[in-house]
Amino acid sequence: MCGVVAYTGFKEAYPILMSCLKRVEYRGYDSCGVALLDGGDVQSHKDVGAVDDLRSKLEHVSGATGIGHTRWATVGKPNKENAHPHLDCSGRIALVHNGDIDNFMALKDELIKQGHTFTSETDSEVISHLVERYYAGDLREAVIKAITHLEGSYALAVVAADFPGVVVVRKESPLVLGLGEHENFAASDAPALLEFTRRVVYLEDGDLAVLKPESVEIWRAGTRIELPVHQITWNVSELDRVGYPHFMLKEIHEQPRVIRDTLVGRISLTEPRADLPLAAHKPPARLIFIGCGTSYHAALLGQLFVSQISPMPAHAYVASEFDPLPSSLKDAWVVALTQSGETTDTINAIRRAKAAGAWTIGVTNVKESSITRVSDDMLYLQAGPEVSVAATKTFMAQLVAVYLLSLHLAPPPGQLGELIGELRSMPSKVQRLINSQSSIQALVKKLNAYDHLFLIARGINVPVAYEGALKLKEVAYLHAEGCAAGELKHGPFALLGQNTPVIALAPRDAQYPRMLTAIKEIKTRGSPVMAIAFSDDNDIGRYVDDVLTIPVAHGLFSPWLNTVALQLLTYYMAAARNLPIDKPRHLAKSVTVP
C-alpha cells in the first residue's frame, strides 16, 4: 500500500511530483522518494519520513521526467534503503512500485546468482533488476518481459536514463493516467492529478502505457488500444483544508452536506419512497453486508437497520472472514462497503460471494476504483475526497447508503413516511450537533487523563460503540473498547474502577431503561460514566457524571448523531494530545494488502 506518481513534459518535474505525492500520501507515509531524468542520468533521492520532510531537505532536483513514491512498509522496515525508487545495478533504471510480489524471494536468489547486487530488503527491488536484465534501449519491451516473472500485484512506474518517457503498468493495484498539454502524468489515484489536469484514463489490470510529453500509448496483451478519457468532477479546493487545522475536522464538518448529496435523487420528492438506480435483478431473499474496519461497522448498522424494519434476514461479516460455501448464496445480495474501493480483503470477499452465487453490490466513494470491476452493480457515495486517514464523512455516507438500500429493498409498511422524513431531517440535526460543541471541550480534558476506556451501547448503537472505540484508538492513541452494555458483566467488569471511565450511548429509545440499569451497575464498580443522550433528557444527569447531548431523533437514527459526537470527541482529544491527526502512525487510507 503505497502511492506512485509519474510526470513527463517540458516543465521542471520535481515540484509537480512533490505536489502529486502530497496528494497520495494518505496511502502511506513512512518514507518517500523521487527519481528524475537529468542530462542522461537518473537522479534518485529518498528518505524516511513524509513528503514535506524530504522537500525540506531537498531544495531542487532538475529534470523534466520523473517518478515518485510514498511508502507504507510491507516487505522490509521503513528505512532509507527500503524507500523507493529502487535502482538497478547500473543506477540507470529506476522504478516505483505499489503492490506485493509474492515470489520475490525466489526471483531475488536467481538474480543474485546471476550477479545482481541488492541494496534493500524489499520485494520491489527485484523488479528493477529484472528490467535491467532485459533492457536494450526499449523500456517498454524490458518491462513487458520483466513482469512475466512476477506473481502478485503491482502498479509500476519505470524510467531509464536513455529513454525519453515513463513506462507504467498495473495488475491488481490502481493506476490512473492524466492527460495534459505537452505533458502527461500517472498516479495511484485521480485526485493526485487534479491540480494539473482533469482528463484521466483508468488503466485496467494488465494494461501498460508509455508516457511521453506529446503522446500516450496504451497496450493490452501486446496490442495498442484506446481507452475512454474521463473528466474528474471533484474540485481541487475540496482537497485543501480551507482554514481547518486538520482534514479530519473539515471532513467531520462536511457531513451535513455529504448526507444531503448522498440522498439527492434517491428519495422520491412526491412519495415516501427510496429510489435507487440499481440494475434490474430479482430482489434478494436475504441481505449480507461486508466491509473492513469502519466499513464493517457500517455493515453491522445495515444488518441491524434491516432487522428493525423488516423480516428480511440480514447479516454482516468482516470481509476478510467472509468465506461462504459454494452455491450457498444464490438467494442473497452481498453489499460490499469500502470507501476507497481498493481494500483487498473486501475485493477478495466479493469474488468469494460471486463464486457462491450471490448478486454483489459495491458501495464506494471512489469512481472507477477496483471494486467497480468486481461487483455486479455499484452504489456511489457522494462524500467528495476524504483526505484524513480516519474515515468520518465516508462512514456517514455509508450509513446513508445502507439505510437507503434497506428502505428500498425492505420498505416497512406504515413506517416508511416517518423514516424517510427523518432521513430528510438528518443534515440539519447533524449541523446542529456540530454547532454546539462547547460541552465537548470540558470532557476532552477529563477523558484525556485516562489510558483506557469503554464505550457501551445497546441495540442499533452497538456498532457505534465499536466505531467510537476504533476512532479513539487510531486517532487519539487511547486504548478504548466498544462493548454491548449487557456484555460488560460477563468479563470486562473486572477492569472497571476509578481509572477506567465508561462512555454510555444512551438515546431515549426502547433500550433506554436497560441502559440505565447497566449504568447503575457500572457506577457501583466505581467507574466514572459519561453519557451521550438526547438534549431533552432531563433525567440522565442523575445517573452519570457528565452528559454530552445530541439532538432528539428517531431511535433508528440516533447512531448517526452518536457517531458525530464521538468523532468530535476523538478529534479534540487527539488535538489536545498534539498527535498527527490526519496521518496516524502505522496506518494508511487504502489497505491494498491481504
User: Per residue, what are the HEC states of 423-479?
Assistant: HHHHHHHHHHHHHCCHHHHHHHHHHCCCCEEEEEECHHHHHHHHHHHHHHHHHHCCE
Q: Which stretch binds ligand F6R (CB under 6 A): 111-119, 144-152, 291-299, 540-548?
A: 291-299
Is residue 255 a contact residue for ligand F6R (CB under 6 A)? no
Among 338, 360, 511, 562, binds ligand F6R (CB under 6 A): 338
Q: Pull the grid cell for residue 499.
A: 481509572
The owner of cell 467497480 is 372
Cα 583 from Cα 593, distance rounded (Å) = 18
CB 98, min distance to ligand F6R, A: 15
Residue with Cβ nearer ligand F6R (183 or 474): 474
Among 31, 98, 124, 346, binds ligand F6R (CB under 6 A): 346
Residue 329 vs 391, nearer CB to ligand F6R: 391
Please report the DSSP string for 166-190 in residue order: EEEEEEBS--EEEE-SS-EEEESSG
Residue 587 contacts residue 27 (beta carbons within 8 Å): no
Residue nearest to ligand F6R (CB): 293
Of 173, 295, 500, 558, the one binding ligand F6R (CB under 6 A) is 295
Residue whose CB is less far from ligand F6R, 360 or 590: 590
591: contact with ligand F6R by CB under 6 A? yes
Distance CA(467)–CA(472), nearest Å, equals: 9
CB of 467 to ligand F6R, least distance (A): 8
Amino acid at 499: N
How many residues of this chain interact with ligand F6R, rule: CB under 6 A?
Answer: 15
- Asked about 89 being catalytic, the answer comes back as no
Q: Quick check: 339 binds ligand F6R (CB under 6 A)?
A: yes
446: annotated active-site residue: no
CB atoms within 10 A of CB 568: 22
Residues in 473-502 at the binding interface with ligand F6R, rule: CB under 6 A: 474
The contact pattern for ligand F6R, residues 72-91, with x = CB under 6 A and - = no contact, is --------------------
Our finding on whether 391 is near ligand F6R (CB under 6 A) is yes
Please tell me the distance from the alpha carbon of residue 16 to that of residue 25, in angstroms, as a whole number: 14
With vertex at residue 203, the alpha carbon angle to CA 347 and CA 290, rounded to the nearest 5 degrees, is 15
Choosing from 44, 184, 188, 340, the residue that interacts with ligand F6R (CB under 6 A) is 340
Residue whose CB is less far from ligand F6R, 21 or 469: 469
Output 117-122 pairs: Cβ under 8 A, ≥24 positions apart: 117/89, 119/81, 119/87, 120/76, 120/81, 120/82, 120/86, 121/75, 121/76, 121/77, 121/81, 121/82, 122/75, 122/76, 122/82, 122/84, 122/86
- Residue 440 Cβ vs ligand F6R, minimum distance, rounded to whole Å: 19
Catalytic residues: 2, 589
List of residues contacting ligand F6R (CB under 6 A) = 292-295, 338-340, 343, 346, 390-391, 470, 474, 590-591
